[in-house]
Amino acid sequence: MGIYTECIERMSKYWKYGVVTFVCTLLCLPVSTQSKAFETSKQLEVFHALFRELDQWYVDSIAPHNAIENGIKGLMSTYDPYTNYIPESETQDLKFMTTGSYGGVGAIIGVREGRVLVMDLYENMPAAEAGLLIGDELLEIDGVQMTPASQAQASELLKGEPETEVHVRVQRLGAQKPLSIKIMRKLVQIHPVTYAGLLTAEIGYIHLNGFTEKAALEVRTALLDLKKRGATRMILDVRGNGGGLLDEAVSICNLFVEKGAEIVRTRGKLRQWDQTFKTTHAPVDTLMPLVVLVNSGSASSSEIVSGALQDLDRAVILGGRTFGKGLVQTTRSIPYNGVLKVTTAKYYIPSGRCIQAIDYAHRNEDGSVGRIPDSLTQVFYTRAGRPVRDGGGIEPDVACSDSSGSEFVYQLVNNLFVFDFATRYRHEKEAVWTSDESLDLTDADYQQFVRFVKEKGFHYEPEAMQLMKVLQKRLQAERLWEFLRADVEQLEQKLVVDLDRDLQVYRSEIESLLRIEIAGRYGFQSGKLRASLQGDPCVEEALDLLKDEDRYKKLLR
């Protein structure tokens, strides 16, 4: 009994100490932590109550899925553009972004004026092997009518498990009646290297369209092949490449720089995201002169490659300022097979700078980073001591624009006149071109396009004419119209569309786009890419730079 009493007294004493310790622990918790936990719980309770009341009392029925999804979108919109929720129905798209593969037929679908069209095909993939052609109109997919239909609906019906069949009915130009085509789906693999070849006897070219799995392996294979064929200088083209896997970017840099070189560091709120990535293998070539082509569409991993090679003075960067995405995303599993893609860190390239745009919410119309005053940026230095700045994107060593700004040509492309003419051209000329040769359009070909545009009734209103209408209303509001009417009307007369005139003024730009679209009918993506190199001002600038050894070396000093 005495022992029992003693135990009770000891336990009672420890219990008192325990309570005191627990209370002290609570009191010692940071006030901000307690407040944050309470505020989170409070707001979640408010949200649940609001939904419950709306669901019960609102005049119309509420779809829970849509209501909650809109709430999620609102939550995600308060953070950076790359932090978002991916529901189970879209996780295959995420997988495609990282692996470059999916189960399907290898066709890109678009909807124009209510028509579901085959806009592009991947070479050696089921759709192309089954006989589908670019320009075919899809009438049915597995018995489902495509009029009307959305691009997402059509694409989803074509996707599926490998070794399963899909049946399509298509209307083809020149065919008397619709065609029925059976396609066997398979694992479609999109190759990150779109095209690799020699532009001259000694200058190789590699176009990289993404940083999916095996991107570095494909670049390595292409690089070794081009060296074997005589390449002593190289162009790596990452224009329009939106990025992908960070490890692949590091491995691609490893092809051109020594083992053990630091390529990128990541820094986040949690220490687990603080990592340093260095090259781990012997390089392929550390001396070969290298030019990397970039533009405003080069983002993320493209900026790691171009920025690291610039900081290490290993390559000349040529083109336009890059996109400015220096944020690292990590995926987290969410209940019911959803995924949260969340920004966990920023990355810093060898000079120490972060290429994340200071203000990623406000950009130019083309998505590029706006001009940032030097007073808001910081100077860093490359390995050789060249000054470089942070603040948004990689500033090229040599500036070059690869874009055109003709509204007239944009309307021709956007309204499918170039696309439809290429479809007709391919129908009338079965085999006139291979990707191993240049595609040249004759004057007769262009005149045929002119007639095609007129027959189809092309019409557009120049943007300048729309601005003139705004100006007229403003002048009328300010009672200046009568004084300036004659001048304004005279200018309007000069802006009136003259189709024959504009088709000649913009002929070279139109012919270039026609070549690219027609080449795609015979040579798929690689054919388009090869045709686009003809007359590309930035490629020409890169070739001239690589031929001028003194200028190349001077830029890297």
Within 41-106, strands assigned E span 84-86, 101-104
CA distance 243 to 347: 14
Under 8 Å between Cβ of 110 and 151 = yes
- Could you tell me which residue, 2 or 187, shows the higher pLDDT? 187
CA distance 80 to 97: 19
Structure confidence at residue 27 as a pLDDT band (50, 70, 90): very low
Three-state secondary structure call for residue 241: coil
Q: Is the pTM of this model over 0.95?
A: no
CA distance 272 to 270: 5
CATH 3.90.226.10 for the 193-402 domain, yes or no:
yes
Going by C-alpha positions, the residue among 239, 243, 208, 262 that lies closest to residue 329 is 243
Under 8 Å between Cβ of 216 and 273 = no
Q: Which residues pair with 207 in a beta bridge?
A: 195, 237
Question: How many other CB atoms are there within 10 angstroms of residue 291's CB atom?
Answer: 28
Under 8 Å between Cβ of 449 and 421 = yes
How much is the average pLDDT of 493-511? 86
CA distance 338 to 332: 9
Residues designated as active site = 300, 311, 325
Going by C-alpha positions, the residue among 106, 119, 111 that lies closest to residue 420 is 119
pLDDT digits (tens, 9 = 90+) for 282-329: 999 999 999 999 999 999 999 999 999 999 999 999 999 999 999 988
3-class secondary structure for 96-109? HHHHCEEEECCEEE
CA distance 382 to 31: 45
- The secondary structure of residue 331, as a DSSP letter, is E
Backbone angles phi, psi at 140, to 5 degrees: -145, 145
Burial 43-54 (b: 16+ CB within 10 A, else e): eeeeeeeeeeee
How much is the average pLDDT of 363-379? 68
* pLDDT for residue 402: 75
CA distance 221 to 540: 25
Three-state secondary structure call for residue 27: helix
Which amino acid, 62? I
- The secondary structure of residue 340, as a DSSP letter, is E
Structure confidence at residue 33 as a pLDDT band (50, 70, 90): low
Most confident of 31-40, 61-70, 196-205, 498-507: 196-205
- Could you tell me which residue, 32 or 199, shows the higher pLDDT? 199
Q: Which two tokens stand for residue 298?
A: 């080069």
Domain segments of the chain as ranges = 2-62, 101-189, 193-402, 407-542
* pLDDT for residue 361: 57
Number of H helices, E strands in the chain: 18, 21
Stretch (H or E) spanning 318:
strand 316-319
How much is the average pLDDT of 182-201? 95
pLDDT digits (tens, 9 = 90+) for 146-182: 988 788 889 999 999 999 999 999 999 989 999 999 9
Three-state secondary structure call for residue 294: strand
Going by C-alpha positions, the residue among 118, 101, 100 that lies closest to residue 109 is 118
Under 8 Å between Cβ of 250 and 221 = no
Assigned CATH topology for domain 101-189: Pdz3 Domain (2.30.42)
